[in-house]
Amino acid sequence: MTERDLRSEFLNTLLTTPHRDLAALQAYHEQMIAQDPLFYVRLATWYADEGQVRDHKEMFVVMLCLSDFDGHRDVGLALLRRLPPYQVARVVDYIKGGTITHRRPAAPRPRVQRQPRRTGGRLRWFLRRRRQPTVPQPAIQEPQYEMETRRVGLSRNVPRSMRTEIERYLREREADDGWFDRTVLTARKPMKRLYAGLHIRPSDRAQAILFDDDPPADSLSFKVKQIAKASTPAEQARAIAQYQIPYRVASSVVQDMTPMVLAALIDVMTPQEVINNIASLKRRGAFDNPDVKALIDDKLKAAQKDNRVSAYKAKVAAEAAGATGDLADTLDEITEAQVKAAGTITRPTALLIDKSGSMDVAIEVGRQLGAMISTICEADLYTYAFDTVAYPITPKGSSLADWEKALAGIYAGGSTSCGVAIEWLRREKRQVEQIVMVTDEGENTAPRFYDAYEAYARDLGIRPAVILVRVGHAADFLQRACANLGIAANVFTFGGDYYALPNVIPFLTFPSLTEMVMEILRYPLPKRSTS
């Protein structure tokens, strides 16, 4: 594999979202840090600021802190210092390794009901049974589970330099009572693991709060206990507002969620917290009270400009809460605003959506991608759904609703020609600099992708970049075709997680993969703090 191919392949892995399965990323990171350590350390720094997937951020820290290459450990420890406590604990846990046990469904075992006991003698029972046809008893299916234990992590000792850095990390928080108390409220278990697992002696105050369960009267942990003991909702609301108690903590100690208590909780929540807890707030009746609903609306409006809000969290929260009407529209607007903040696409782009047999998921992913791309695309955007014929898609706007209407009547079915939409572009003489294709890479009808691309490049004098968004049980036919064409295609495998779709945006906003690599290589490295 060439250096260019290696970088391209590794950048493609940054599009994956393994959801706390760091082992799924380890091999890619090990290969990259061994082959190109100078690029890897710059990429880690760039991704810490620009990336979206927390698992990759943690794996970058793990690899750099264990690396023997000059300068890697200092950068890794500087990046470690930026992580919140729960991620620091996950980094340590992965290095130390361990076993996890979880329950998984087992193959159900049919249990046949026993025949009722007969009386009257064995011979009489036998004769009666011969005269009457035997009716088979239905099998009873009971849910069966089995416990699975597997080993995870690296099973290595935590480097002394990392332990020193984490001790500084904890001492820095201990020195500020307010900072420490708020950290404990949201990450109590990770903090305890860091102290106990690394044998770091806590301060007297930290010992009382975390391990003795005897928090001092001036601590937030003590105030939370008092809130639980408060006799009236009004007292609870005042305490929540005064001490800025997070929703996740307060909701576990407050039994009666009155409108007054809900208003106090929402007032101290960040826009991201409101989005995360939309379903919970809805269950507790927050939308039934006009005053409380107005507070939620204000937080959701603020979410459109808050750079800490995840681009697709609002969309997923809307589905989890079953949001409809104005609430659904507001959450969609948040998604669109956050996507716009990711950058702009300045190159003419073609979005090609596979609608052949069993490609329902491709149509849905294409709808989501179309709404995202059209929101930030300043150049021409040409969209087609294809099987053996290309169907032009022309939404009237850039919202998800507009794209849903534009794709109405597009259903999965038919054979597949991955080159037919490119052929349409060629005949219409539409010049594009990048092609985004949502497909499973299977094709069984001419024009084929390879032939159509060659004809397009020959007639229009341009060789567009290719981004493949793979769905379903995907093959690799188009990737091999791109390799034969001399194209380094970027490949994003969609595994059903819509959170990951915004990860495609950086590959569309940069003029080329080379420009993206140059941007990463120019990125400044952080300095490790000495105190």
User: pLDDT for 509-531, tens place per residue?
Assistant: 877 777 888 899 999 999 998 76
Mean pLDDT for 87-91 is 97
Higher pLDDT, 325 or 431: 431
CATH class belonging to 349-510: alpha beta
- Cβ(336)–Cβ(371) below 8 Å: yes
- Cβ(29)–Cβ(60) below 8 Å: yes
**Amino acid at the residue 424:** W
Q: Give the range among 96-100, 358-362, 398-402 with minimum mean pLDDT.
A: 398-402
pLDDT at 108 over 70: no
Residue 359's pLDDT is what?
95
**Segment 380-396, tens digit of pLDDT:** 999 999 999 999 999 99
Q: Give the range among 15-19, 214-218, 238-242, 332-336 with minimum mean pLDDT.
A: 15-19
Mean pLDDT for 287-305 is 90
**Segment 133-152, tens digit of pLDDT:** 555 555 555 567 777 787 88
**Beta-bridge partner residues of 139:** 112
Rounded (to 5) percent helix, strand, coil in the chain: 55, 10, 35
Residue 120's pLDDT is what?
56
Residue 119's pLDDT is what?
54
Residue 116's pLDDT is what?
56
Distance CA 90, CA 58 (A): 8
pLDDT at 2 over 50: no
Q: Is the dihedral of CA 387, 393, 399, 405 positive or negative?
A: negative
Residue 3's pLDDT is what?
46
Cα angle: 218, vertex 222, 226; to 5 degrees: 120
Distance of CA 276 to the CA centre of its chain: 13
Show the tokens assigned to 421: 């939409």
- Cβ(161)–Cβ(73) below 8 Å: yes
Distance CA 275, CA 194 (A): 30
Residue 104's pLDDT is what?
73
Supply the DSSP symbol for 68.
-
Confidence of residue 105 (pLDDT cuts 50, 70, 90): confident
Q: What are phi and psi of 385, to 5 degrees?
A: -105, 140
Distance of CA 213 to the CA centre of its chain: 35
Q: What are phi and psi of 490, to 5 degrees?
A: -90, 135
**Amino acid at the residue 354:** D
Helix (H), strand (E), coil (C) string for 115-132: CCCCCCCHHHHHHHHHHC
Distance CA 35, CA 30 (A): 9
Higher pLDDT, 215 or 313: 215
Distance of CA 527 to the CA centre of its chain: 29
Most confident of 43-52, 197-206, 336-345: 197-206
pLDDT at 475 over 70: yes
Distance CA 403, CA 421 (A): 19
β-sheet with 390-393: strand ranges across: 390-393, 381-386, 349-354, 434-439, 465-470, 490-493
- Cβ(277)–Cβ(257) below 8 Å: no
Residue 4's pLDDT is what?
47
Mean pLDDT for 20-46 is 92
Buried b vs exposed e over 234-261: b needs ≥16 C-beta within 10 Å?
A: eebbbbbbebebbbebbbebbeebbbbb
**Amino acid at the residue 517:** V
Mean pLDDT of the chain: 87
Distance CA 80, CA 73 (A): 10
pLDDT at 243 over 60: yes
Residue 1's pLDDT is what?
44
Q: Give the range among 125-129, 199-203, 283-287 with minimum mean pLDDT.
A: 125-129
Closest CA to 473 of 343, 389, 359: 359
Q: Give the range among 272-286, 303-317, 414-428, 490-504 with minimum mean pLDDT.
A: 303-317
Distance CA 80, CA 362 (A): 38
Length of the chain: 531
Distance CA 400, CA 410 (A): 15
Distance CA 504, CA 70 (A): 32
Q: Is the dihedral of CA 239, 240, 244, 246 positive or negative?
A: positive
Supply the DSSP symbol for 97.
-
Distance CA 466, CA 464 (A): 6
Residue 179's pLDDT is what?
95
What Rg do the C-alpha atoms of the chain give, in angstroms?
29
Distance CA 184, CA 171 (A): 14
Helix (H), strand (E), coil (C) string for 6-41: HHHHHHHHCCCCCCCCCHHHHHHHHHHHHHCHHHHH
Mean pLDDT for 352-372 is 93
Distance CA 452, CA 422 (A): 6
Residue with tokens 């929402």: 266
Q: Is the dihedral of CA 420, 425, 429, 432 positive or negative?
A: negative
pLDDT at 244 over 90: no
Cα separation of the two ends of the chain? 43
Report CA-CA distances (Å) from 523 to 32, 421, 519. Answer: 18, 38, 6
Q: Percentage of the chain with pLDDT > 90?
A: 53
Residue 140's pLDDT is what?
53
- Scanning 138-245, the segments in alpha helix (DSSP H) are 160-174, 177-186, 188-197, 204-206, 220-229, 233-243
Mean pLDDT for 22-27 is 89
**Residues near 192 by Cβ (< 8 Å), separated by ≥ 6?**
210, 211
- Cβ(145)–Cβ(106) below 8 Å: yes
**Beta-bridge partner residues of 511:** none
